[in-house]
Amino acid sequence: MNPYNYTMLCDFYELTMANGYFISGKGDEISIFDVFFRKIPDGGGYAIAAGLEQVIDYVKNLHFTDEDLAFLRSKGQFSEEFLAYLRDFRFTGDIYAMPEGTPIFPGEPILTVRARAVEAQFIETFLLLAINHQSLIATKASRVVRAAAGRPVAEFGSRRAQGADGAILGARAAYIGGCAATACTISDREYGIPATGTMAHSWVQMFDSEYEAFRTYCELYPDNATLLVDTYDVLHSGVPNAIRAFKEVLLPRGITKCGIRLDSGDLTYLTKKARKMLNEAGLSDCKIVVSNSLDEYIIRDLIQQGAQIDSFGVGERLITAKSDPVFGGVYKLVAKEDENGTVIPKIKISENAAKITNPHFKRVFRVFDRASDEPIADMMCIWNEDPIDESQPLEIFDPDNTWKRKKVTNYYLRELLVPVFKNGECVYQSPDIREIRAYCKNEVDHLWEEVKRFENPHKFYVDLSQKLYDEKIRLLREKGSQV
């Protein structure tokens, strides 16, 4: 759907490093990079993976145009041999990723790239852009939808989104996270996310009276009449005029499906009063929709206060993830391969312990309790470790506090990273977005309730196998001694 070739949407240092790798003879060395994040937004207990479909589209279409090459030549920093190489540049490596909609946790690879150094380095920026943005919005949407406690949530944020892609792909991510609909029409056309919406205050102001505005709308759209009742006075004008329009236009046609929307004021007080008025008028089927700078905390409070709300429209605080607007995913080299195909682990060390990376080419398993189907922990292993025998007890431990150990029995494992590209060819069929949304809901539903708390959630552990832990400690000691 996008007219742009995003090949040049990269940090400039991706190009200077790629040129350097090429000139120094390192360009064809097989390198392994992980995408992971360090902190869950809003202090939550889990995040949601999203953005893989856009990564796939980008990698499939990765190429340099003549205009791209002319621009790079004008910078005066790139060799002609490198520019000639870029003319036929394509991604030829492997990518593994967690499916969209998967609950994810800090420190574990949610996407792994194994490719020639030039290729693996170059795609860093767009991969992070796609995954950071949509994972952030999907995570926020999941929180908002859980706060709504079964009431539908529509994403209303296009006008406050940060750019066109922020609106379009933000709506996609919000739907994955659990939203039922979007106000963004193009997201319906492109992704099949149900578009919804009826009127703004300007519709009401355009007519000589509020009643005329409501009646006209009901006549035009009798099967989708949700009337905005707070242009003037909700209880003395808006709701009474809506009731009159519904009774005079819809009920004679046998239509009882209708709704009112409030976008301002004390929503708890007003919805309680409006509900009483609607019921007394015989319109108990009329739904009450609210909007107005909502987030998960406001929604939770409204419900706890007894507000009579059937569904929510959530805009700016969802589409921008206003309370914590940076996902913080990073892209780090974790291994290389020598000419014989031997994997050589790499580690990044920092005085900030949270920034020390987990080395090696890895597999990630989710450990489930067989009786409840609830996930117990995730575990990272070196790619060629012996398979785990699920009939035997499994000891897992906290890699930061290794004395915290637990023996798990009656469990099963599910591998989380699935092949997406092999030798440059896409081997993954992206599911329909409705399948992704349903998968996400099922996965979140099976998380411990303690993990899903908004405040002080239980930490879901991401453990290392003993072999991977020992290798990390070895590298820390070896590289640390070189400082």
Q: Where are the domains of the chain?
A: 6-123+332-480, 138-319
Closest CA relative to residue 136, chosen from 329, 304, 332: 329
Mean pLDDT of 271-297: 97
pTM recorded for the entire structure: 0.96
Compute the average pLDDT of residues 355-364: 96
Checking if the pLDDT of 79 tops 80, the result is: yes
pLDDT tier, 479 (very low <50, low <70, confident <90, very high otherwise): confident
Who wins on pLDDT, 328 or 481?
A: 328
Residue that the structure tokens 């792994």 belong to: 112
* Least confidently predicted of 183-192, 277-286, 463-472, 473-482: 473-482
- Helix axis angle for 164-176 and 433-445, nearest 10°, is 50
In this model, does residue 197 exceed pLDDT 90? yes
Cα four-point dihedral sign 172, 175, 181, 182: negative
Output the pLDDT for position 248. 98
Given a cut of 90, is residue 64 above it in pLDDT?
yes
CA atoms of 465 and 474, how far apart (whole Å) = 14
Q: pLDDT category, 337, cuts 50, 70, 90?
A: very high
- Per-residue confidence (pLDDT) for residue 98, from 0 to 100: 98
* CATH class label, 138-319: alpha beta
In this structure, are residues 259 and 221 in contact, taking their beta carbons and an 8 Å threshold?
Answer: no
Grade residue 3 by pLDDT with cuts at 50, 70 and 90.
Answer: low
Assign 407 to helix, strand or coil.
strand
| CA–CA dist 112, 19 (Å, integer) | 23
pLDDT at residue number 5: 79
pLDDT of residue 196: 96
Q: Which of the four pLDDT bands, split at 50, 70 and 90, describes residue 20?
A: very high
Whether residue 480 has pLDDT greater than 90 = no
Q: Do domains 6-123+332-480 and 138-319 have the same CATH topology?
A: no
- Please answer whether residues 380 and 358 qualify as being in contact, where contact means their C-beta atoms are separated by less than 8 angstroms: yes
- Asked whether the predicted pLDDT for residue 2 surpasses 60, the reply is no
What pLDDT band is residue 198 in, cutting at 50, 70 and 90? very high
Residue whose pair of structure tokens reads 């003993």 in the numeric block: 466
Nearest to 443 by CA among 153, 138, 194: 138
pLDDT value of residue 200 = 96
Determine how many CB atoms are found less than 10 A away from the CB of residue 165.
Answer: 17
Q: Which residues of 321-330 are buried (b: 16+ CB within 10 A; e: fewer)?
A: beebeebbbb
> Please, are residues 62 and 153 in contact by the beta-carbon 8 Å criterion?
no
Is 105's pLDDT higher than 90?
A: yes
The CATH code for residues 6-123+332-480 is 3.20.140.10
By percentage, how much of the chain surpasses pLDDT 90? 96
Q: What is the mean pLDDT of the chain?
A: 96
Helix or strand holding residue 397 (H, E): strand 394-397
pLDDT, mean of residues 205-227? 98
Q: Is the pLDDT of residue 128 over 80?
A: yes
Asked if pLDDT for residue 353 goes beyond 90, the answer is: no
- Residue 130 predicted with pLDDT over 60: yes
Question: What is the pLDDT at residue 481?
Answer: 61
At residue 352, the 3 state secondary structure works out as: coil
Give the C-alpha separation, 257 to 197, whole Å: 15
Q: Which of 239-243, 295-299, 385-389 has the lowest mean pLDDT?
A: 385-389
